[in-house]
Chain A
Amino acid sequence: MLLKMVLKAIGRQRRKHYLIALTVGLGVSLATAMLGVMFDVGDKVNQELKSYGANLNIVPKGASMLGELYQTEDTAAEAENVNQENFIPEKELYKIKMIFWAYNIVDFAPYLSVPVEINGQKIILTGTWFNRHLKLPTGDEVDTGMTALKSWWKITGSPGDDGDTSGLLVGRDAAGRLGLKPGDSFSAKAKGKAVDLKVRGVFDSGGPDDGLIFAPLSLAQELSGQAGLVERVEVSALTTPENELARRAAANPGSLSRMEWDTWYCTAYISSIAYQLEEILPGARVKAIRQVAESEGAILTKIQLMMILLTVLTLLCSALAISNLVSAGIMERSVEIGLLKALGASDLSIMFLVLLELFLVALIGGVIGYLIGLGLAQLIGLTVFGASVPVKAAVIPLTCLMVLAVTTVGSLPALRSLLKLEATEVLHGR
């Protein structure tokens, strides 16, 4: 009987119920999209941010003692009388992709710098992997190198090529200072020897890198006489935002209990990834470029906060609209409700009737809205992050809760007027 009444009532106020379903649908679709993106935004933003550079720096144990002065000429001069302690063997680098969190290592690139003289001016030439294809002992194959690591660089001319051992990628400032442009060939001097080089491309990094010159690693090794060695590796890793545990571990891994240590080791904190890299490269020291890592976490939290805020606002708007519609519906049906009261229906049972009707309609709107929301999430994913957003199961119960909350909150004022409605007033037309 109840269901019959509800269904017939829905059928009667069809327009109003369409509108309610539409409102719920709109709210839910936006909220679903927001939540869908929010759950996924952690990975997406990390992926986005990693393209703005590396967050880990691997240096040899010996070199790290010298601080971060490796780019100065002093270091380069000292490099002549350093031992193996100050370098990392190039052939060890594949191990970076074999740690526990290998799949979180998005990219890495080694560096070896050597001072050269071009057109009578001294400048540092840095050898690197532009784009190296690696075959791992596990059978996996990966591509890595500076091109991917510095994906935001704008290059005029051709990009760097590991096979072109005399081809350089020159920073915008360096090119200006040396008077070079893409395609130029010239002779340079390194350690007294002359070498013929050419400019493949000029890059604009928007940062201090613009004063540098990059070359294939093999050229730098040849010029510096450090065959098979690199002096630094930049690594870009997807990381979990730091928390208290990660900070304690970073300060002193020994201070953790066994369980904490396991948790830490098996979470992609920047400190645990650094720790694992040191495990696998015994001669190296791994430093987190901490500012980047922490700002990643902060931005992420802010973006997620904003999404939650927008979701709440959207739902609030839906609730408001619903509240209007439901109130109007109750007004329209005041005689009917008065009659039910006169027949002896309790306030509770009438509220139940009204809510049941509303929830049924809202549910339909919610399901449709959810489906639209999934589509919307994909759209946001594709336009903002250039990748689809996987559906998280957690969104479904959350959506149900949202529908429930929105309709309940939205119908509160109507329910209040329903309680206050006097049967005598409506039945005698006063």
Chain B
Amino acid sequence: MSAILEIQNVSKIYGGVKALQNIQLLVPQGQWLAVMGPSGSGKTTLMNIIGCLDTPTSGRVIMDGLDLGSLSHSGLTAIRRESIGLIFQEFHLISYLTALENVMVAQYYHSLVDENEALEALAGVGLKERAKHLPRQLSGGEQQRVCIARALINHPKVILADEPTGNLDETNERLVMFILHRLHKQGSTIIMVTHAPDVAAHAERIIVLEHGRLASDRENNPVVSQPSEQKSADSRAEELNQNQKSEESFLAGTMAAV
């Protein structure tokens, strides 16, 4: 397996704060990596650097064979556009655009808008029927799924999710994990920050940061989230609540895949 991401001796210092210190990390193509650690340990800082939103104070980041340090500001913007899919804890949907339009914004800045493709992406997260709704008309879980659809629309090489389930209840957390499982199955590289061990348990590999240092790095036997009777009943209750056939079939599909 070739490495999609190589982090060599990366440090990030904010004023006097050493947010990251000498991080070494090799992420193979297609790996699902969970990043854990206490608050302030540098998880978000690391994600920002991988996501080309920030640059390290020292060290090198090589993504898909490309040294990010050699890129200009606009070069980094281009990488962000082409290779990275971002999923936020806060969703960050544009409030005055519909779910569909929020997905299309990413298309617009990437290449061309394609409404059908955007609709498909929404269908992929079970929101085909909610395409015309504004973010405030959607539940937190639904908003997060729109955010995921937007992150996936341009087929990124790496998906970065900073606490994707941090603002979600258990049911929605499960839904999001299903989607990530499917993406993982399809071969996407996923780097996911989380506080929750049961969320991290879905990943193949778990690293822990402490005070900006890599404190542990271990393989994980991912939970095959074989939904229990109870869980599946929960999910179904929710879908039936929303009375959306497409979502039902989406969930059924997802669970069959997992």
Mark A residues whose CB is within 8 Å of B.
1-2, 4-5, 8-9, 11-12, 335-336, 339-347, 349, 422-424, 427-429
Query: Given the complex of chains A and B, what is the CA–CA distance between A74 and B33 in angstroms?
Result: 118
B225 at the interface (CB under 8 A from A): no
* Cα A345 to Cα B111 with chains together (Å): 11
With known contacts A8-B97, A423-B53, A340–B109 Cβ distance under 8 A: yes
Q: Evaluate contact between A428 and B44: CB separation under 8 angstroms.
A: yes
Structural contact, A340 and B105, CB atoms closer than 8 A: yes
B78, A335: Cβ atoms closer than 8 Å: no
Chain B residues closer than 8 Å to A349, beta-carbon distance: 109
| Interface contact B80-A342, CB-CB below 8 Å | yes
| A424 with B77, Cβ < 8 A, contacts A1-B113, A336-B94, A429-B90 known | no
Which of A4, A341, A422, A427 is the one whose CB lies under 8 Å from B101?
A4
Closest to B153 in A: A343
**Bound state CA distance, A9 and B77, in angstroms?**
23
Closest to A423 in B: B53
Main SS of the interface on chain A?
helix
Total of A-B residue pairs, C-beta within 8 Å: 74
Complex alpha-carbon distance, A344 and B97, angstroms: 18
Given contacts A9-B96, A344-B110, contact A427 B88 (CB under 8 A): yes
A251 to chain B, nearest CB (A): 65
Chain A residues contacting B86 (CB-CB under 8 Å) are: 342-343
Known A-B contacts A341-B77, A344-B78, A344-B80; the reply to A427 vs B92 at CB < 8 A is yes
Apart from A5-B101, A8-B97, 4 more pairs, CB < 8 Å: A336-B95, A344-B81, A344-B109, A427-B88
Contact A343 B53 (CB under 8 A): no
Taking CB atoms, residues of chain B closer than 8 Å to A423 are: 53
In the complex, which residue of chain B has the Cβ closest to the Cβ of A348? Answer: B74
Which residues of B have CB within 8 Å of A343?
A: 80-81, 86, 105-106, 109-110, 150
Q: Is B29 an interface residue (CB 8 A)?
A: no
A5-B97, A8-B97, A344-B77 known; A424-B108 Cβ under 8 A: no
B27 in contact (CB, < 8 A): no
Cβ of B64 < 8 Å from any Cβ of A? no
| B220 at the binding interface (Cβ < 8 Å) | no
Q: How long is the Cα–Cα vector from A346 to B108 in the complex, in angstroms?
A: 12
Question: A428–B89 Cα gap in the complex (Å)?
Answer: 9
8 CB < 8 A contacts A-B? A4-B101, A9-B96, A342-B51, A343-B86, A343-B106, A346-B77, A347-B77, A427-B90
Confirm or deny: B170 has a beta carbon within 8 angstroms of a beta carbon on chain A: no
Report the separation of the CA atoms of residues A331 and B4 in the bound assembly, to the nearest whole angstrom: 36
Contacting residue for B54 out of A4, A5, A345, A424, CB 8 A: A424
Q: Are A1 and B44 in contact (CB under 8 A)?
A: no
Is A344 within 8 A of B108, CB to CB? no
Does B82 have its Cβ within 8 Å of any Cβ on chain A? yes
Q: Which residues of A contact B104 (CB under 8 A)?
A: 1
Chain A residues within 8 Å of B58, by CB: none
**A9-B96, A344-B82, A424-B48 known; A1 vs B77 contact (CB < 8 Å):** no
Q: A346-B77, A424-B53, A428-B44 are in contact. Are A339 and B92 (CB under 8 A)?
A: yes
Docked pose: A343 CA to B79 CA in angstroms: 10
Contact residues in A for B73 (Cβ distance below 8 Å): 347
Min distance, Cβ A383 to any Cβ of chain B, angstroms: 46
Complex contacts, B82 vs chain A, CB 8 Å: 344
Other-chain contact of A342, B53, B97, B113 (Cβ < 8 Å)? B53
Identify B74's interface contact among A8, A346, A428, CB under 8 A. A346
By a CB distance below 8 angstroms, the chain A residues around B106 are 343-344
Contact indicator A1/B105 (Cβ below 8 Å): yes
Chain B nearest CB from A347 CB (Å) reads 8
CB B132 to nearest CB in A, in angstroms, measures 13
Which B residues touch A12, using CB under 8 A?
95-96
Distance in Å from the Cβ of B11 to the closest Cβ of chain A? 17
Greatest chain B CB density within 10 A among A8, A339, A340, A424 is at A339
| Cα of A422 to Cα of B45 in the assembled complex, Å | 13
Residues 59-85 of B contacting A (Cβ, < 8 Å):
73-74, 77-78, 80-82, 84
Residues of B within 8 A of A346 (CB): 74, 77
A343 and B152 alpha carbons, distance in the complex (Å):
11
Residues of A within 8 A of B44 (CB): 428
The one of A5, A335, A424, A429 in contact with B105, judged by C-beta atoms closer than 8 angstroms, is A5
Alpha-carbon distance A8/B107, docked complex (angstroms): 18
Q: Which 8 A-B pairs have the closest CB atoms?
A: A344-B81, A12-B96, A345-B109, A344-B80, A1-B108, A1-B113, A8-B96, A339-B92
The CA of A11 and the CA of B95, in the complex, are separated in Å by 12
